[in-house]
Structures are given as C-alpha cells and as structure tokens.
Structure 1
Amino acid sequence: MTQHIGTPPTQDDTQPHPAKPAQLTVFQGRVADRNPLGMAGAQRMGQALAQRLGLSPQVVGTPRTPLAAPWDVELNAARQELEELARAMERTLQRGQVPITTLGRCAAAIATLPMVARHHPDAAIVWFDAHADSNLPANSASGYLGGLVLTGAAGLWDTGLSGDLRLAQVVLVGARDIDPAEQALIDSGTLRLVPPGKDLAQRLATAIGQRPVYIHLDCDVLEPGTVPTEYLVPGGLTLADLGEAMTALAKNAVVGLEIAEFQSRWPEANTEASPDALIDALLPLLSKICPGV
C-alpha cells in the first residue's frame, strides 16, 4: 500500500511502523521544475524500486504545473511540501531506518540533506552530479534553485528550512560543469571533488575513507543518452562506472540514498523510459540496504 503524506500527519504516522530496514519515499512536489517529466520520473522510479525491494512507498507532495521561475519564487511555492519532505525524512531517521527517496529535481534535497546531517553528522554526503550545485543567490548567473542546494542545506543562505549540513561533509562525484564560485570552493578544499575518469571507484573510496555514506544521485552525472534527464553534459559516467562506484560505497555503512532527475520519457522520441538498467547499476548499494534483493 502507498501511503500519502500531507498536513496534518496521517493516522499511520502515529502507529508502529513495520520492521523494514528501509523507508521508500516518493516526492511528487514541484521544486524548480521546467517540465513535468521529473515529477513523473520520480513516481516511475519509486514504483520500480518498490517492486524490486518489496517496500511500500510513502508519497509526499502533489504534481503541479511547472513554474520555470527564479529561485526565490520556486522556493516559496514549494516551501510547504519541502517542509513535509523534511518531516518525513526525520521520522524515517528517528525510526532507525535507511531512507531511499526519489526526487523529481535536485532542488528537493534542500529539505533532505539537513535532516541527514542532523542525524548522521559524521557521514559523507556523496553527491553524484554533473554540476557542483553550490552557488549562492548572490553569485548565481542562472538564478536556478537547483544550483543553490548544497550551500542552502549548509545554511550559507537562508532557505527558511534547516541548515545542518557542513560543506566539509560533501564529496562531489562526476562534476564537470562547474561555475567559478563553485570552483573556488573546490580549490580551497571546502568541497572535495572526485572527477569522472579512470579509477573513479578507487578514488572515491579514498575520498570517503571509513565514513558512513549518504548518496545523492542526479542522473545527469551519467553520459548523455544513458537515461533521460533534463541536462546533457558530455563526459559523464557509464552505468558500469556507476556500478563500480556503488560497489565501493557499499563497503561502508550506508545511511541513505536519493535519486533525482530521472525523467519519465525520452523527449526526442516521446517514448517512455525504463529505470531498470539504472536500478541494476545501483544493486550493490541497494543490496546493502535491503539484504536479499
């Protein structure tokens, strides 16, 4: 059964939760969407994960028409559902479960990351993304909310949500479209970058050490054409690269996984997209979270 989370909390929120190792959450809210394919993609990915893992997903938020607006307009419009997402994440962590979350857009992580950092301050936040997503409103050329996520989650600008993340926790993986202010954070050592290329999994293992890991996967970290996603940045990871990275990460304690930016259709051909190959690449990690899958 799918449980839909809204305000006020449903009756199920006050009842004992089944003894599952993980909680699957599907976020359907609109956050910095320019098209509806991410919201639909989060639903499709969530359904596929539910079948693979034997989990009953909870749904947070309701799909709405994209705004394609500046960051502050998007944030204000999404605030209520982002607050609901943050509460759902915190309840999962308080129960001692591992969150597995599907997000339409990376911008929704502005609600999830502070909760993870609050409960797992020693965890490495492993951010798979073609972009560094660490601009500030004052230096963002695009004014896109998705490019402000890490700094917002770290409280470097006021999101109106929590800011418990420390940028020192973040390990960027696969980033290659990096703005000057973001590069300055990398050059100063504030953010650590594991760029795409040879021996990625080995370099990632060195970067995370023995720390617990929380993984954020933006599908645009992959080579364009691997799965449908809004942004296409050449020089990305293959599914084999991703699988090797997941194998390396699974050697550590895994405290959560979120998947963003999987679009439900291939826009050029207007055909439906399957998440199965991507989930196959994630199996080393998913098997660690949910043994026996």
Structure 2
Amino acid sequence: MRLADGAHAISHDLPAASTTLIDVPIGAGDALGTSVARLSSLLMVRDRLAAALLAHGGPAVTIGGDCGVQLAAVPHALTHSPDTCVVWFDAHPDLNTPQSSPSGAFTGMVLRTLLGHGADELVCADPLAPQRVVVVGARQLDDGEAEFIEQEGIRMIAPTAGIGEQDAGAAMIAELLDAVESTGATSVYIHVDLDVLDPGIIQGIGSPVPFGLSAADLVAMIAALRGRYALSGAGITEFAPASPEEADDDMATILRIIGALTR
C-alpha cells in the first residue's frame, strides 16, 4: 500500500492531460503454484500496463509501484526501438531467479526476467540481451546475482566514493557513456529505482542501502544520456513513503529526476 500511495503522490504533481492511471489489484494475489509471490497480481498489472502503453504508442515514463512495472514498460520500448540499451539505476541489480531469490519477491527478479530467465508466465518471447544492459549504483548483490553478472559480462558502474563531489560525478558520467556506447545502442531506456539514491537524501524507500548516489549525480547522468541518445522510455519505481509528510519532503527530489527525464 505504501507503493500505491507513493505512485499516487507523484501523480498529483504530473500534468493530468498526459497522465494515465493504471488500476492495480487491491488483494495480495496468489503464487499460482510457483515460487514467485503474488504472481496473479503481477500478471494483471503487466497486462493492464501493456494495454495502456500500446494505446499510448510512443515513449512513456512509467511511475511505479515496484520494479515489476518494467515487465511491460521495457518490452514496449524495445518494440519501438530495438537498438535500445537499458540503463538500470538501482541499489540492487534485480537479477535473481525464482530459484535463487531469498524472498520470492518479484521486485528482485525483474531484470533477470527481462533477460529471459524466470517464471514461464512472466518471461517475454523476445528477451533483452545482456550486452544491452548497464547497471548503475548497485551495492547490494546476492551470490547468484554476482555469479550471473560475471558469467554474462554485464557492465556494472558502482557509486563513486565522495558522493556529490564534482570529480566523482564526472568520472561516473564518463564511465556510463563509455559503457552505453560499447553496446552499439542509439537509444536508451532509463530505469530509476529510487533506492539508488543515498538514504540520507530520500526517506520514502522500502529497502535503503547506504552509500548511494547523490541526487545531483543521478540527474547529471540522466542529462548526459539524454544529451547523447534518444529516449525510448523510462521508469521511476519504489517510492514508498510512510506518511504524507514524508512524501512531501521527498517530492522535490523526485520531480527533479522526472524533469531530467522529460525535458
């Protein structure tokens, strides 16, 4: 419910004429005999969002909810821009499978599912290639995720020590642009899980991990990507404020990120 509250809080500051609300199931959902928690709800949200994106047609910014919304949003972007590189800003790489996940929570399996490994009901027919993925800001990995990253050679850009320092930010931007260029992509899909930010900057996140990005560095990296590549789509996820007051405190940072994605 905190995730739903967070998405609604953001929607209040978006232009109504260009905003579409997707109804999500109120019930928890059922695993349907799998080890993926709430699978029935995940399928319903995926299908409803996919229909809305199809009606929209072009690039869109999807506001979650958790990272599971990318299960519809990323394939939509790839349909229109198959040469897209997915830049995954996240404190966690979300590369677990149902077998390796410690919790069964799909939010930790999303990117791995987009890459073609996961519950049969959720894997898409034309999965994303690992060579078209760059993960930025991840600093809490499970063993299975680390093994997969090494096996597939997925590019990882760690938060640079000295959060907010100009030289550190410039180094990360240079490394990011080099990583995306190496994929041969001409467009980018930008996923932002808000826990990529340092928890000292944002309160309303459910899985805070210390030593994250500063808002200034995140915005600067998004701006650098936008300056060089077409945007095939974007997502902002995992805003889970505990109270309206907490949501208000975080909103300026979130709107700054949305501004970088949409300007």
TM (normalized to structure 1)?
A: 0.75
Q: Do the aligned partners of residues 180 and 48 (structure 1) sit closer, same or farther apart at CA in structure 2, a change above 3 Å counting?
A: same
- From the superposition, tell whether residues 158 and 272 of structure 1 become closer, same or farther in structure 2 (CA, over 3 Å): same
Higher deviation after alignment, 269-278 or 120-129? 269-278
Summarize the alignment of residues 184-203 of structure 1 with structure 2, pairs less than 5 Å apart. Answer: 184-197=147-160, 198=168, 199-203=171-175
CA deviations 1:266-285 (Å, max 9, x no partner) are 59x86754422222244333
Alpha-carbon separation, structure 2, partners of 1:113 and 1:120: 10
Aligned partners of 1:76, 1:83: CA distance in 2, in Å?
A: 11
- Aligned-pair distance for 1:189? 4.0
Contact 1:134/1:150 (CA < 8 Å) preserved in 2? yes
Q: Report whether the alignment pairs 1:49 with 2:49.
A: no
Moved over 6 A (4+): 67-70
Corresponding residue for residue 233 of structure 1: 209
* Bigger shift: residues 160-169 or 253-262: 160-169
Distance in 2 (CA, whole Å) between partners of 1:59 and 1:271 is 19
Q: Distance in 1 between matches of 2:46 and 2:177?
A: 32
Aligned residues: 245
More strand by share: 1
Structure 1 residues 240 and 154, CA, compared in 2 at 3 Å: closer, same or farther? same
Q: Deviations over 1:196-240 (max 9, x none)?
A: 112211211111126301111000000013221001100100111
Q: 1:78-227 residue pairs with structure 2 within 5 A?
A: 78-92=42-56, 95=57, 97-161=58-122, 162-164=124-126, 165-197=128-160, 198=168, 199-209=171-181, 211-227=186-202
Identity of aligned residues (%): 31
The residue that corresponds to 1:242 in the other structure is 218
CA apart distance, 1:74: 0.9
**3-state SS in 1 of match to 2:159:** coil
> Is this contact kept in 2: 1:128–1:173, CA < 8 A?
yes
SS at match of 1:275: helix
User: How far apart in 2 are the matches of 1:98 and 1:118?
Assistant: 10
Change (3 A) 1:42 1:68: farther
CA separation of 1:190 and 1:75: change in aligned 2, threshold 3 A: farther
Alignment of 1:5-84 (within 5 A): 36-50=1-15, 55-62=17-24, 64=26, 66=28, 72-84=36-48
Q: Which has the higher relative contact order, 1 or 2, with Cα contacts under 8 A spaced 6 or more apart?
A: 2
Gaps of 5+ in 1: 1-35, 288-293
Residues 231 and 122 (structure 1), Cα distance of their counterparts in 2 relative to 1, 3 Å cut? same
What's the TM-score, normalizing by structure 2? 0.83
**Partner deviation per Cα, 1:90-112 (whole Å, 9 max, x = no partner):** 333xx3x2201101111222222
2:257, 2:70 → 1: CA distance?
22
SS of alignment partner, residue 176 of structure 1: coil
Assess, with a 3 A threshold, how the Cα gap between structure 1 residues 264 and 163 changes in structure 2: closer, same or farther: farther
Matched residue SS, 1:48: coil
Hey, what does 2:164 align to over in structure 1? none
Higher helix share: 2
Q: Which deviates more from structure 2 when the two are superposed, residues 98-107 or residues 69-78?
A: 69-78
Identify if the C-alpha distance between structure 1 residues 153 and 241 changes in structure 2 by more than 3 Å, giving closer, same or farther. Answer: same
The CA RMSD measured in Å over matched residues stands at: 2.4
Q: After alignment, is 224-233 or 150-159 more displaced?
A: 150-159
Measure the CA separation in 2 of the matches of 1:184 and 1:213: 25
How far apart, CA to CA, are the structure 1 residues paired with 2:221 and 2:242? 26
Counterparts in 2 of 1:273 and 1:37: CA distance versus 1, 3 Å: farther
Aligned-pair distance for 1:66?
4.9
Q: Secondary structure at the match of 2:5?
A: helix
- In structure 2, relative to structure 1, the CA distance for the partners of 1:66 and 1:274 (3 Å cut) is farther
